Amino acid sequence: MMRALAVLVLLAGGMSVASPASALENGLARTPPMGFNNWNAVRCNVNEAFMKKTADFIHTRKINGKTLQELGYSYINIDDCWALPKRAADGNLVVNKEKFPSGIDGMASYVHAQGLKLGVYADSGSRTCDKAGFPGSFGFEKIDALQWAKWKVDLMKYDNCNQPADDNFDRTVARYKAMGDALLAAEKQTGQKILYSICQKGDRGISPFPWSPEVGNIWRTTSDIRPNWARVKQLTAKNIPLHKYAKPGAFNDPDMLEIGNGELTQTEEQTQMSMWSIMASPLLIGTDLTKASEADLQILANPDAIAVNQDPLGKQGEQVSNKGGLRVLSKPLKNGDTAIALYNETDAAATISTNAAQAGLLSVARYEVTDLWTKKVTTTSGTISAKVPAHGTVLYRVRAVG
């Protein structure tokens, strides 16, 4: 149905390209990808030593008896600034060997040896987004996709800066489709699957819908996140209504986790982890893990929140009520349980309530309610309620027990 809708919308808009290829059929991202991206931690000051140190941390550092890798964090993603400013004579991108002496292929070998995966960054325009302006992939899609595949790259984030002057909706879709097709062609040639992360963000008023779910595995739904409550609140609100697009292989991406960065309180960090989990959003850590506090690591390593995020049904939680910023979201889970988030985006503590029928639970006499942060277990005949602090979220797992 979504594919038919996409075709109709594109045709109605005068689309001059064919219906997008089935990039979602690459078998990747059956649950939201988890891992790390360096941009919010070090931006353009990225290098091999930092990325290897991060991979080592995710691979070895135990938090409550488990490593972040064992909890599901697997992608080690290098953002902008890894290439030299000019392409080689044959058109290929050239790795900055001062930053990455082992090359991108060497980095891939390093993380693969740990059972992790490597991601890289590229741009759909003529230059990347950093002010230094490294080479973009517009017009070089096949060359670049094949190069990444030969390097054994596992994920590619495709940004949206320095677009052609005549860019519009049709041409945006065509640019992103061209790279999706190139990644599939490179897979056929090399066997290397690459998760396609679309970072178009709705720039210049051009919507990422309905085409992004047909072209990529994950797609940005919002502008860039910032480490402050106002932006986390804004991006959460923008992502909530998009639940119909999420499914295994295709997920809404409201940007990276800011846990450990900036001005967020522990309550606000816990809210971001809770909401990204119930919204089936990618969980990409954006802080320098070697400097993260134990409290930050405990939030990132909450196995129960992660289980909600990684539930194999691949459903994004739906909002069932919103009373002046007191929101309730409900997400069905594969084993029959339901995740419920009581989210208070306001500046004052408040009681948030729902009930079994409103949240879509089976009608039974009794429910077991587990708070996924405090681990407290209670029972109820149907009412689900909590006093939630300002900017806070209570995340429950609810089970019908009789």
Position 24 scores a pLDDT of 58
- Judge if 242 and 353 occupy the same domain: no
- Judge if 364 and 239 occupy the same domain: no
Instruction: Compute, in degrees rounded to 10, the torsion defined by CA atoms 50, 56, 58, 63.
Output: -120
SS3 for 289? helix
Number of helical (H) and strand (E) elements in the chain, helices listed first: 11, 18
Residue 159 bears catalytic tag? yes
At residue 23 the predicted structure's pLDDT band, cuts being 50, 70 and 90, is very low
The residue out of 289, 309, 329 marking a domain boundary is: 309
- Judge if 266 and 332 occupy the same domain: no
Please give the residue range of the domain that contains residue 331: 318-400
Place of tokens 């950093």: 130
- Judge if 13 and 140 occupy the same domain: yes
Distance CA 196, CA 23 (A): 8
CB 10 within 8 A of CB 218: no
The residue out of 285, 309, 333 marking a domain boundary is: 309
- The maximal CA–CA distance of the chain, rounded, in angstroms, is 72
Per-position DSSP letters for 65-85, written without gaps between them:
TEETTTTT--EEE--S--B-S
Distance CA 221, CA 30 (A): 19
Candidate list 130, 170, 203, 224, residue with the active-site label: 224
SS3 for 275? helix
- Judge if 149 and 294 occupy the same domain: yes
The pLDDT tens digits for 33-70 are 999 999 999 999 999 999 999 999 999 999 999 999 99
- What is the distance between the terminal CA atoms of the chain, rounded to a whole angstrom? 37
Total domain count, the chain:
2
Candidate list 144, 159, 167, 311, residue with the active-site label: 159
The pLDDT tens digits for 324-342 are 999 999 999 999 999 999 9
Please name the residues in contact with 274: beta carbons below 8 A apart, sequence gap of 6 or more: 305, 341, 343, 372, 373, 393, 394, 395
The sheet with strand 117-123 has its strands ordered as 251-253, 218-220, 195-198, 155-159, 117-123, 75-77, 34-37, 283-285
CB 87 within 8 A of CB 94: yes
DSSP state of 287: S
CATH code, 344: 2.60.40.1180
- Judge if 268 and 337 occupy the same domain: no
Position 17 scores a pLDDT of 37
Ramachandran bin of 24, using left for φ above 0, alpha for ψ from -120 to 50, beta for the remaining angles: alpha
The residue out of 277, 309, 341 marking a domain boundary is: 309
Choice among 18-32, 53-67, 189-203 with the minimum mean pLDDT? 18-32
DSSP state of 217: S
Please name the residues in contact with 242: beta carbons below 8 A apart, sequence gap of 6 or more: 209, 221, 252, 316
Pairing of strands 338-344, 326-332: antiparallel
Amino acid at 7: V
Distance CA 148, CA 122 (A): 10
Residue 167 bears catalytic tag? no
The pLDDT tens digits for 298-320 are 999 999 999 999 999 999 999 99
Distance CA 58, CA 74 (A): 8
Q: What is the mean pLDDT of residues 253-271?
A: 98
Residue 13 has pLDDT above 60, yes or no: no
CB 77 within 8 A of CB 284: yes
At residue 262 the predicted structure's pLDDT band, cuts being 50, 70 and 90, is confident
Distance CA 76, CA 104 (A): 12
Distance CA 142, CA 26 (A): 17
CB 292 within 8 A of CB 260: yes
- Judge if 105 and 246 occupy the same domain: yes
Amino acid at 202: G
Position 98 scores a pLDDT of 99
The pLDDT tens digits for 144-175 are 999 999 999 999 999 999 999 999 999 999 99
